[in-house]
Each structure stands twice: as structure tokens, then as C-alpha cells.
Amino acid sequence: MPKTTTRRKFFSTLALITATPVALAKHIIAEEPQPLSVMDTEMLEKLTHIDSDFIAVDGWVLPIKSMTLGES
């Protein structure tokens, strides 16, 4: 190690160099929102048909009529 550089300075600089990309990575430019007509396959997987009257959305058990007619 060069005499002008202390061990502390070396490791501090190394930490700063490796941390900066991570810190900058948090400022991600948001993606363009998808059109509503494009269904996310992940959303479809969260729908479970229970019977003729009920469906589950991500585990929430809901009456089908409220999905189509809205909650009264």
C-alpha cells in the first residue's frame, strides 16, 4: 500500500465506490404505465374461482356480484 494512503482511507474509499451505484440505483425512472386492456398475468394468478357466487382476489373472498355491480 502507498505510504500516502492510510488503511482507513483505503477502506473508506472502497466503501464509497461500491455504495454509490447502489444509492443511485434507488432513483429509478418509473416505467410507462401499461394500458388497462393489457392484463398482467400476475394479477390473473391472484384470482381464484370459488363457486358460482364467490371469487377470491389475492385471498380476499368476495361475492362475484360486487365485482360486476359494485358494492352496494
Partner 1 sequence: MLFDFNVDTSISKHYDVCIVGTGPAGITLSRKLAKSGQSVVLLEAGGLEYSEASQEFYECESIGHNAWPKFTRLRYFGGTSNHWSGRCRPFESSDFEAQTINGLPGWPISYTEIEPYLKEAMEIVDLDSDQGFQPLHAPLLGKSFNSDAFAKSPPTRFREKYLSEIEHQKNIDCFYNATAIDLNLDKSHQFATKIRLSNVHNHHSTVSASKFILCLGGIETPRFLLNCNTQIKDGIGNSNDMVGRCFMEHLNVPMGSFLYKDTEQYSNLQFFAADEFRSNNGIGKSNITMGIVKRIRSYGRTKAIKNFFKNIACQSNIEDKVQFISNFKCPGMGSIGTLIEQSPNLNSRVTLSKAKDNFGQKKARLDWQISPYDETTIRRTAIALAKEFNEAGLGTIRVADFILDETIDIQYGHHSHHMGTTRMSNSDKKGVVDRNCKVHGVDNLYIAGSSVFATGGACNPTMPIIQLCLRLAKHIA
Residue 58 is a binding residue for partner 1 (CB under 8 A): yes
Question: Looking at 16, 19, 43, 62, which residue binds partner 1 (CB under 8 A)?
Answer: 62
Q: Which stretch binds partner 1 (CB under 8 A): 14-22, 26-34, 36-44, 58-66?
A: 58-66
Between residues 14 and 47, which has the closer beta carbon with respect to partner 1? 47
- Of 11-19, 23-31, 36-44, 45-53, the window that binds partner 1 (rule: CB under 8 A) is 45-53
Count Cβ atoms below 10 Å from residue 55 Cβ, excluding itself: 17
Contacts of 55 (CB under 8 A, 6+ apart): 47, 48, 49, 61, 62, 63, 64, 67
